[in-house]
């Protein structure tokens, strides 16, 4: 029962659970297991934490699960497995489970068809270097693989599983698909080798496209077409065999393995025999050119027969008649015919002749070194097919690419880990022994081939000089047919193994769910056979067969295997260097330096073999990596890349702790403070849109919110709020972190978020918070007070503060401004934030086409011309393109509008302090004060003032307007038609004294355009204003500091509205709050007046340090 429950825990939702397979695994029947177990002290924890006895029982049965069932079986298969338990398969040891499968996969087609040619072209020395390099690479990879494979159980997928769980889903998916492609193209290579043996050495007459009488490209094209036709037929047959049942392939595996072993033994037996009695394989040489032994029986021009000289069949190949006086080929006439022994034997000294390479261009003659030769007076432009010619241009790197597939196959043991009796013991021993054995075979083969076979025969790829025999077959004992048939059946078996393994690898990748478009290939027949994956594998394999050249396909699969091996080494080196607690392999003979050396060798061999194939393979892997990163499923496998990220992050954080960043490295690291509604949804989503648009600085982003309550009671709400934040961040494409703080009150929660956000040097330096909506209508005074306290705290913490006003009017990420301006009002120096923010915004596509304008204010004693020149120079050195304008503000007297605005503000502040009043009483009190104020104005000066209308505030777009009688809408009415003078600038709009409980917040606006500031006309002359002020006794008791601040706000707003009302965005300095807390309400009113009549405003308050510099 325990084992079944454990399987359900792993497979219930189809997702891997390697991280914690036992903890938090609930079972409704589990309570019965703990009765009478003396576990009363822990009975409340039994639903999440199993007993040790249950854990050990599950672990003991873990190895009895079928291979890959933990992750790669679906839920319905689990139900069937529970109802009908599968018969236990016999476990295999090191020899049958690892050693022999690796031996069969490593020794293959390249050994039989190309090894002798590689020795002949590259020479014994260079061929030995190639073999040593490739075998060293696989040995180092096997050491790394053994460490990974013994660090836990390796289910289905083999190398894919090891890489993905060690390097993460992105690397695992990319390398897994590359390994799949390599295995698939290996199947194509084996099939092409099988067809080559069939058509060249066994039944040449079976060729559909006849090559008799064809020379050069025509003969080559006919051969390639034969390979394509027969390759497609064989591939179809093999795919059908695999589809019908893998059991037939497994039954034939021993037969194929026996063919490989017998072929190797036959070669070694033949080498021994050459020392005693070399076989008779004559090679006919004309001058120093090797002839194709085809169409003649005697290697001579003439023979003596019946006391006469008779021409031979060879004579007829080069002459136009059988007569001795016939016209013959010039080279044939000038040079003698000689016969050399193709297999001189191991004691002949041929080794010294074959030590060095003999690379050739395509179409060159294969010549016997040291033989005299008289060339033609006029060499033929088209070499004759009577000579043995080089079929391709050869060079060292080509030989590396062709040879490397012969050392692949080292993963065969790890792929069968589920079938092994003791995988953690068998995989290292069996794999390393198999590589050692094959390396000895290859290295000794290089030396023995060079010592036993003549160089002309070694360079003859298809054995044309030895009557069309397989070159390695000429060395075999007792007959060349042993090698021919042995290699034929071994290539067939290797092709079937590839077509069997590749679809299962693809199925493992698809069922992991990390590559969305591959999920269809995770399905198969009822018994789990990967039908769709087999179909795709056959199609890809067919593309390799259509290439039709073994020499062209081999470098392609070399790339994919080398990339796979490179990442196996990287995974081992990474885990070793990170020293993660879970890295405890049983195989102890590994070191990160060996893994790094193996990785370097793999990378070097990739570019040595074929630099363009290497680039293509890496591009494919990179595209898959980015696709998985962008669209793939999120997987947490405890991989090494996550561990590397943690180590790198820790190192970087420790470095950042050494001191504050230089001005050149400063970037806005933003803490975005948002609020959530009753359903825990974000109320200001446009704040994140603005954050995304400012992220050209690539700094840190933390989106935080605060909840009221206790942590224990509101933990679930906190989790829900964090999910809401993450969802919105994903929608707005804001990369960063989310954080939710729960406290007894929102003020403390926000303060905690401000203090505790970030880590070490990666702390926020900028706070982004929206202007508080409806702060005047708040039932309690907390909204206004919390905002002001936040401003004070950011100032104390030396943090920059960004406050967008009317955030709902800001553009989303999908909008585009085709024209317009971003206006910066640089009133005081804030460290350069006002300069930097527009630059960052204009990097985003929303603001890219907006132009930047910078306004600064000149006082009476300032030289505005020099200021403009200096500011232009400063912007030039900052590399910022912007228009510059200096606005002159003349001294002027305080207008009646300013006094009245200050009066209403102070009266409102006094009323709100009477906290014991009810809402109705508060409205009645404020209304009476407002009415008396208006009556006083009408009574004392009916001919001066401002005409204005009320409109809905920008903070409540779309709100309804209330019609009021004209006497209530008119605060100060001026019938004067005199235009304003420079000394008496236009007064801006102002908010009316509407009560906090009214339905809408109202502003003074131009009756022609809702939302725009009106421009009321002040008194005609300063003297008239002074006389007017002397007539208002209630103004004389006002706080003069408030009057001056209001005067500044009104005049600045007047200038800003005049210059920037049509701007897409206005940035201006945000003044700080008063040091004493008695005038907090007045501070909010000043900011309202300062920004009145503007559609989009971003108030900016610097953090007290320079953030932009002119130096490089």
Instruction: Encode burial over 436-458: b for 16+ CB neighbours within 10 A, e otherwise.
Output: ebbbebbeebbbbbbbbbbbbbb
HSE, CB side, 13 Å, CA atoms: give it for residue 371: 22
pLDDT digits (tens, 9 = 90+) for 562-617: 998 998 898 889 888 888 777 888 888 999 999 999 999 999 999 998 899 999 98
pLDDT for residue 1030: 45
Q: Which two tokens stand for residue 1000?
A: 């809408």
Q: Which neighbouring-strand residues pair with 282?
A: 341
Nearest of 218, 174, 754, 188 to residue 495 by alpha carbon: 188
What are the DSSP calls for 293-321, one per residue? Answer: --S-SSSSSEEEETTEEEE-HHHHHHBSS
Q: Longest C-alpha distance within the chain, in Å?
A: 156
Order across the sheet with 289-290: list the strands: 289-290, 282-286, 337-341
**How far lies 177's CA from each of 155, 558, 628, 960, in Å?**
17, 14, 12, 61
pLDDT for residue 162: 73
User: Are residues 458 and 466 in contact, defined by beta-carbon separation less than 8 angstroms?
Assistant: no
SS3 content of the chain, % helix, strand, coil (to 5): 55, 10, 35
Category of 152 on φ-ψ map: left (φ > 0), alpha (ψ -120 to 50) or beta: left
HSE, CB side, 13 Å, CA atoms: give it for residue 1003: 28
Give the C-alpha separation, 186 to 192, whole Å.
Answer: 10
**How far lies 360's CA from each of 33, 115, 285, 465, in Å?**
77, 17, 18, 17
Q: Tell me the pairing of strands 766-769 and 800-805.
A: parallel
Q: Which neighbouring-strand residues pair with 304?
A: 309
Name the helix (H) or strand (E) containing 216.
none
User: Are residues 810 and 1084 in contact, defined by beta-carbon separation less than 8 angstroms?
Assistant: no
- CA Rg value for the chain: 44
DSSP, res 515: S
pLDDT for residue 1003: 33
User: Are residues 754 and 790 in contact, defined by beta-carbon separation less than 8 angstroms?
Assistant: yes
pLDDT for residue 596: 95
Q: Which residue has the tokens 């553009």?
A: 811
DSSP, res 775: T
Q: Which residue has the tokens 């006082």?
A: 859
**Residue length of the chain:** 1112
Q: Please, what is the angle between helix 531-547 and helix 159-196, to 10°? A: 50
Peptide bond preceding 478 in cis form (omega within 30 of 0): yes
pLDDT digits (tens, 9 = 90+) for 956-977: 333 433 333 333 333 333 333 3
pLDDT < 50 stretches in the chain: 1-31, 33-34, 36, 59-87, 915-918, 932-1031
Give the C-alpha separation, 842 to 606, whole Å.
Answer: 44
Q: Please, what is the angle between helix 919-940 and helix 896-912, to 10°? A: 160
């Amino acid at each position: 029962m325990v084992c079944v429950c454990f399987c359900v825990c792993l497979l219930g939702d189809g997702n891997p659970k390697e991280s914690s397979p036992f903890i938090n695994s609930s079972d409704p029947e589990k309570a019965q297991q703990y009765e009478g177990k003396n576990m009363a002290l822990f009975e409340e924890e039994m639903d999440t934490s199993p007993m040790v006895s249950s854990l050990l029982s599950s672990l003991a049965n873990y190895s009895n699960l079928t291979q890959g069932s933990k992750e790669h079986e679906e839920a319905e298969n689990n139900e069937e497995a529970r109802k009908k338990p599968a018969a236990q398969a016999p476990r295999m040891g090191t020899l049958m489970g690892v050693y022999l499968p690796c031996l069969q996969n490593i020794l293959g087609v390249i050994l039989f068809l190309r090894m002798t040619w590689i020795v002949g072209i590259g020479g014994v020395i260079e061929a030995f270097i190639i073999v040593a390099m490739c075998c060293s690479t696989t040995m180092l990879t096997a050491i790394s693989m053994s460490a990974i494979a013994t660090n836990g159980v390796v289910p289905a997928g083999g190398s894919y599983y090891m890489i993905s769980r060690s390097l993460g889903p992105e690397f695992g998916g990319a390398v897994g698909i590359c390994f799949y492609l390599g295995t698939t193209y290996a199947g194509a290579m084996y099939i092409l080798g099988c067809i080559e043996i069939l058509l060249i050495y066994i039944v040449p007459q079976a060729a559909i496209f006849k090559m008799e009488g064809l020379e050069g490209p025509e003969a080559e094209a006919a051969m390639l077409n034969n390979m394509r036709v027969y390759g497609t037929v064989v591939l179809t047959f093999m795919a059908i065999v695999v589809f019908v049942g893998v059991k037939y392939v497994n039954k034939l595996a021993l037969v194929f393995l026996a063919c490989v072993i017998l072929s190797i033994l036959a070669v070694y037996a033949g080498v021994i025999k050459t020392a005693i009695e070399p076989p008779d394989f004559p090679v006919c040489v004309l001058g120093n050119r090797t002839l194709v032994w085809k169409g003649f029986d005697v290697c001579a021009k003439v023979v003596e027969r019946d006391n006469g000289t008779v021409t031979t069949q060879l004579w007829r190949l080069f002459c136009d008649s059988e007569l001795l006086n016939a016209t013959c080929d010039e080279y044939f006439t000038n040079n003698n015919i000689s016969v050399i022994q193709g297999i001189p034997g191991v004691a002949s000294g041929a080794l010294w002749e074959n030590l060095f390479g003999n690379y050739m261009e395509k179409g060159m003659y294969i010549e016997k070194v040291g033989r005299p030769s008289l060339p033609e007076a006029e060499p033929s432009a088209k070499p004759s097919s009577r000579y043995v010619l080089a079929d391709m241009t050869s060079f060292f790197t080509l030989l590396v690419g062709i040879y490397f597939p012969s050392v692949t196959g080292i993963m065969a043991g790890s792929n069968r880990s589920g079938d092994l009796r003791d995988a953690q013991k068998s995989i290292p021993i069996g794999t390393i022994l198999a590589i050692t054995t094959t390396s000895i075979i290859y290295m000794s083969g290089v030396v023995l081939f060079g010592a036993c076979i003549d160089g002309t025969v070694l360079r003859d790829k298809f054995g044309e000089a030895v009557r069309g025999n397989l070159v390695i077959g000429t060395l075999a004992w007792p007959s060349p047919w042993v090698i021919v048939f042995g290699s034929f059946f071994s290539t067939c078996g290797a092709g079937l193994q590839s077509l069997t393994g590749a679809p299962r690898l693809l199925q493992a990748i698809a069922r992991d769910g990390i590559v969305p478009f591959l999920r269809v290939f995770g399905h198969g027949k009822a018994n789990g056979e990967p039908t769709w994956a087999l179909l795709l594998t056959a199609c890809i394999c067919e593309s390799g067969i259509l290439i039709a050249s073994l020499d062209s396909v081999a470098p392609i699969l070399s790339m994919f295997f080398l990339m796979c091996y490179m990442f196996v080494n990287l995974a081992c080196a990474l885990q070793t260097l990170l020293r993660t607690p879970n890295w405890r392999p049983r195989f102890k003979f590994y070191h990160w330096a060996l893994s790094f050396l193996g990785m370097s060798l793999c990378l070097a061999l990739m570019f040595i073999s074929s630099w363009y194939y290497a680039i293509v393979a890496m591009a494919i892997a990179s595209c898959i990596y980015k696709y998985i990163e962008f669209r793939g499923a999120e997987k947490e496998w405890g991989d090494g890349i996550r561990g590397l990220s943690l180590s790198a992050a820790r190192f970087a954080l420790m470095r950042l702790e050494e001191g504050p960043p230089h001005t050149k490295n400063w970037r806005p690291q933003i803490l975005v403070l948002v609020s959530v509604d009753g359903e825990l949804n974000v109320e200001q989503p446009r704040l994140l849109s603005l954050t995304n648009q400012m992220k050209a600085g690539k700094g840190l982003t933390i989106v935080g919110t605060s909840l009221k309550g206790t942590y224990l009671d509101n933990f679930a709400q906190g989790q829900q709020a964090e999910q809401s934040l993450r969802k919105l961040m994903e929608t707005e494409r804001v990369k960063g972190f989310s954080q939710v703080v729960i406290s007894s009150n929102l003020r403390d929660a926000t303060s905690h978020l401000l203090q505790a956000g970030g880590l070490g040097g990666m702390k926020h330096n900028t706070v982004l918070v929206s202007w508080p909506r409806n702060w005047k209508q708040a039932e309690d005074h907390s909204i206004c007070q919390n905002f002001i306290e936040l401003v004070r705290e950011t100032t104390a913490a030396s943090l920059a503060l960004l406050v967008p006003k009317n955030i709902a009017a800001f553009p989303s990420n999908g909008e585009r401004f085709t024209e317009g301006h971003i206006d910066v009002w640089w009133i005081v120096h804030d460290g350069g934030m006002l300069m930097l923010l527009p630059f960052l915004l204009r990097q985003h596509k929303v603001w890219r086409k907006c132009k930047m304008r910078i306004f600064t204010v000149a006082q009476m004693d300032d030289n505005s011309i020099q200021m403009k020149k200096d500011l232009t120079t400063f912007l030039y050195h900052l590399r910022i393109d912007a228009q510059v304008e200096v606005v002159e503000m003349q001294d002027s007297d305080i207008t009646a509008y300013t006094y009245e605005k200050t009066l209403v503000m102070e009266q409102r502040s006094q009323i709100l302090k009477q906290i014991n009043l009810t809402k109705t009483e508060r409205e009645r009190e404020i209304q009476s004060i407002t009415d008396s104020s208006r009556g006083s104005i009408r009574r004392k000066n009916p001919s001066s003032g401002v005409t204005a209308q009320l409109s809905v505030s920008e903070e409540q777009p779309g709100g309804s307007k209330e019609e009021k009688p004209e006497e209530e809408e008119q605060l100060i009415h001026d019938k004067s038609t005199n235009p304003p003078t420079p000394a008496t600038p236009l007064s801006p709009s102002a908010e009316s004294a509407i009560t906090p409980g009214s339905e809408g917040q109202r502003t003074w606006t131009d009756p022609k355009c809702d939302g725009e500031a009106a421009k009321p006309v002040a008194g005609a002359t300063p003297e008239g204003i002074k006389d007017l002020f002397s007539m208002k006794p209630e103004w004389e008791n006002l706080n003069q500091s408030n009057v001056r601040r209001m005067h500044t706000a009104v005049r600045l707003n007047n200038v800003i509205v005049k210059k920037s009302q049509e701007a897409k965005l206005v940035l201006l300095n945000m003044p700080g709050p008063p040091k004493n807390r008695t005038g907090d309400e007045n501070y909010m009113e000043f900011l309202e007046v300062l920004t009145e009549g503007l559609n989009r405003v971003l108030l900016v308050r610097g953090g007290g340090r320079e953030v932009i510099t002119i130096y490089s």
